[in-house]
């Protein structure tokens, strides 16, 4: 069904669109007129042997897809709706080794094991180290007087959190950060990250993590690696599985949290009354509103395993279905005045961490803690932080990303 308000050929995964903006008005139009809409694409776009995908825009429908893995598979075509336009089918298939792209029962087994590393207790144990990190990051940025908030502030804590969680020694951290940054799944020519560099960095990261796992099997320490790989029976990870697990943590935990922090800062600086409120009261509801507002992952996809109905549309077996979290998080059926940035919003049933179900973000509690620590450190140390320019956006088909946000601290002009 053509959507009357959309220009001919409009694609909700066009990276050129996201370099300018998230197409929220167009998504709103779909929510109203065609909530599950077929977006045609030239055959073989981004390595998929089909002619398009469904755009799911309503909060209730995104939840329905997320919570029904039997009908909506993460494995068939992976969860990434458009990695980039040069990717081959073989390169897509390789990505099915990571848990993000698995279905039950393989996914269930892995998830049960790795969950042990993400209990509230395990996350709380990182708090002190990450609080000190957040403070050091903000002190360093403030000392320069001004700079790019993305690289000076938002990038480092998510990387340190993963390194801390899996117990990477300090002397190896720069190496880990370098591989992680080069593995980015975006399509931005300015960043000059080629497929070769990305693939090579992913291999180096996996092999580093596999060696770490093998060493801990030999000689266990008091860290999560040892806990996850302790013995080689069914209830533990093999060294290979641990390697892929570290890869998924890096893919899922980095760019997402970095962009939540960056969009959150921009939202505060463009809504000064909310920044004043945060500084004075530090509402516990803040980080959820930041994630709703930012929605760092615009969409993930599933593939129908059989014919089914969704939101009035007839989905055929094999069709790809895009869950547009950015749209769900602005659905007026669920959020009063969704266009308002309100850090006291409560309840806030946003789908920024996914729509529930087996793949719901494993790191949601960790991300929440990182966001809280970062904004508390900023509010305590540089309450007068101010904008020096408009954000420069990342070219990506599915990440709501910012690569530059110039800010000043104190008298930094
Ligand atoms: C604001 C920050 C974050 C956002 C917006 C976010 C978003 C998401 C979303 C939408 C999913 C669902 C995937 C799906 O349904 O297919 C997901 C899964 C996942 N996230 Fe996060 N995430 C964030 C932070 C993190 C962090 C800090 C970590 C860990 C260090 C992490 C680890 C994961 C993992 C491992 C999965 C896959 C879970 C599975 O397949 O069972 N995330 N995340």
What are the tokens at 395?
């070219």
In angstroms, what is the span from residue 221 Cα to ligand 1's centroid? Answer: 27
| Per-residue pLDDT tens digits for 159-169 | 999 999 988 99
- Protein residue whose Cα sits closest to atom 41 of ligand 1: 359
Selection from 186, 179, 150 nearest residue 163 by Cα = 179
| Per-residue pLDDT tens digits for 81-109 | 998 888 899 989 989 989 999 999 999 99
Q: Is the CB of 257 under 6 A from ligand 1?
A: yes
Sequence-distant (6+) residues with CB within 8 A of 257 are 157, 158, 161, 296, 363, 367, 370, 371
User: Ligand 1 pocket: which of 76, 252, 328 to mutate (most atoms <8 Å of CB)?
Assistant: 252
Has residue 2 got a pLDDT over 70? no
Cα-atom radius of gyration of the chain, to the nearest Å? 21
- Protein residue whose Cα sits closest to atom 39 of ligand 1: 359
Q: List 300's β-bridge partners, or say none.
A: 323
Has residue 185 got a pLDDT over 70? no
Question: Would you say residue 287 lies in a domain?
Answer: yes
Residues written for the chain: 413
Has residue 409 got a pLDDT over 70? yes
Q: What share of the chain in percent tops pLDDT 70?
A: 97
Question: Would you say residue 224 lies in a domain?
Answer: yes
In angstroms, what is the span from residue 363 Cα to ligand 1's centroid? Answer: 6
- Protein residue whose Cα sits closest to atom 18 of ligand 1: 361
Q: Is the CB of 248 under 6 A from ligand 1?
A: yes
| Per-residue pLDDT tens digits for 13-24 | 999 999 999 999
| Per-residue pLDDT tens digits for 104-132 | 999 999 999 999 889 999 999 999 999 99
The arithmetic mean of pLDDT across residues 67-79, rounded, is 98
Q: Is the CB of 228 under 6 A from ligand 1?
A: no
Q: What is the pLDDT of residue 232?
A: 54
Distance, CA of 373 to CA of 120 (rounded, Å): 16
Looking at per-residue confidence, does 232 or 20 come out higher?
20
What are the tokens at 73?
């598979």
Has residue 43 got a pLDDT over 90? yes
Domain of residue 53, CATH code:
1.10.630.10
Average pLDDT over the chain, rounded to an integer: 93
| Per-residue pLDDT tens digits for 260-306 | 999 999 999 999 999 999 999 999 999 999 999 999 999 999 999 99
pTM to 2 decimals?
A: 0.96
Looking at per-residue confidence, does 8 or 131 come out higher?
131
Question: Would you say residue 160 lies in a domain?
Answer: yes
Q: List 310's β-bridge partners, or say none.
A: 313
Question: Would you say residue 413 lies in a domain?
Answer: no
The total domain count for the chain is: 1
Looking at per-residue confidence, does 43 or 189 come out higher?
43
Q: What share of the chain in percent tops pLDDT 90?
A: 78
- pLDDT confidence band for 4 (50 / 70 / 90): low
Residue 319's domain comprises: 15-408
Strands across the sheet with 406-408, in order? Answer: 146-148, 406-408, 386-387
Tokens 């059989």, residue located: 306
Upper half-sphere CA count for residue 187 (Cβ side, 13 Å): 20
- pLDDT confidence band for 307 (50 / 70 / 90): very high
Question: Would you say residue 90 lies in a domain?
Answer: yes
- pLDDT confidence band for 186 (50 / 70 / 90): low
Which atom of ligand 1 is least distant from the CA of 367?
27
Question: Would you say residue 131 lies in a domain?
Answer: yes
Hey, is 274 helix, strand or coil?
helix
The arithmetic mean of pLDDT across residues 193-220, rounded, is 88
Which atom of ligand 1 is least distant from the CA of 114?
35
| Per-residue pLDDT tens digits for 323-368 | 999 999 999 999 999 999 999 999 999 999 999 999 999 999 999 9
- pLDDT confidence band for 1 (50 / 70 / 90): low
In angstroms, what is the span from residue 107 Cα to ligand 1's centroid? Answer: 14
Q: What is the pLDDT of residue 412?
A: 52
- pLDDT confidence band for 411 (50 / 70 / 90): low
Upper half-sphere CA count for residue 127 (Cβ side, 13 Å): 11
Q: Is the CB of 244 under 6 A from ligand 1?
A: no
Q: What is the pLDDT of residue 3?
A: 63
The arithmetic mean of pLDDT across residues 21-45, rounded, is 96
Which atom of ligand 1 is least distant from the CA of 294?
5
In angstroms, what is the span from residue 355 Cα to ligand 1's centroid? Answer: 11
Selection from 362, 348, 297, 359 nearest residue 68 by Cα = 359
In angstroms, what is the span from residue 32 Cα to ligand 1's centroid? Answer: 29
- pLDDT confidence band for 187 (50 / 70 / 90): confident
Question: Would you say residue 10 lies in a domain?
Answer: no
Distance, CA of 149 to CA of 154 (rounded, Å): 6
| Per-residue pLDDT tens digits for 207-225 | 999 999 999 888 888 778 8
Question: Would you say residue 30 lies in a domain?
Answer: yes
């Amino acid at each position: 069904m053509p959507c009357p308000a959309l220009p001919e050929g409009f694609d909700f995964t066009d990276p050129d669109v996201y370099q300018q903006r998230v197409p929220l008005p167009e998504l709103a139009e779909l929510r109203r007129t065609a909530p599950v809409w077929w977006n045609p694409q030239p055959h073989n776009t981004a390595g998929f042997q089909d002619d398009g995908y469904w755009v799911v825009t309503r909060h209730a429908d995104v939840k329905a897809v997320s919570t029904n893995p039997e009908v909506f598979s993460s494995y068939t075509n992976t969860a990434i709706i458009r990695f980039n336009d040069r990717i081959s089918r073989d390169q897509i298939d390789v990505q099915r080794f990571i848990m993000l792209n698995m279905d039950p029962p393989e996914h269930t087994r892995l998830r049960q094991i790795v969950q042990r590393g993400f209990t509230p207790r395990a996350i709380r144990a990182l708090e002190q180290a990450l609080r000190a990190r957040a403070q050091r990051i903000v002190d360093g940025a403030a000392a320069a007087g001004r700079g790019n908030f993305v690289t000076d502030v938002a990038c480092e804590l998510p990387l340190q959190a993963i390194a801390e969680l899996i117990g990477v020694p300090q002397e190896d951290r720069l190496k880990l950060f370098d591989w992680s940054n080069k593995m980015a799944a975006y399509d931005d020519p300015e960043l000059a990250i080629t497929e070769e560099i990305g693939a090579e960095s992913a291999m180096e990261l996996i092999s580093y993590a596999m060696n770490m796992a093998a060493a801990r099997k030999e000689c266990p320490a008091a860290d999560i690696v040892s806990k996850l790989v302790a013995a080689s029976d069914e209830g533990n990870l093999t060294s290979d599985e641990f390697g892929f697990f570290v890869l998924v943590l890096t893919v899922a935990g980095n760019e997402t949290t970095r962009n939540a922090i960056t969009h959150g800062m921009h939202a505060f600086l463009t809504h000064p009354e909310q920044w004043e409120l945060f500084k004075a009261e530090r509402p516990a509801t803040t980080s959820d509103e930041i994630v709703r507002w930012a929605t760092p992952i615009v969409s993930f996809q599933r593939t129908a395993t059989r014919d089914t109905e969704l939101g009035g549309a007839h989905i055929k077996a094999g069709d790809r279905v895009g869950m547009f979290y950015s749209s769900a998080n602005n659905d007026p059926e669920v959020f009063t005045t969704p266009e308002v940035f309100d850090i006291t919003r409560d309840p806030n049933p946003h789908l920024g961490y996914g729509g529930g179900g087996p793949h719901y973000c494993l790191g949601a509690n960790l991300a929440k803690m990182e966001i809280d620590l970062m904004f508390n450190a900023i509010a305590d140390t540089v309450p007068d932080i101010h904008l020096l320019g408009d954000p420069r956006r990342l070219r990506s088909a599915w990440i709501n990303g910012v690569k530059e946000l110039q800010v000043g601290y104190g008298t930094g002009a």
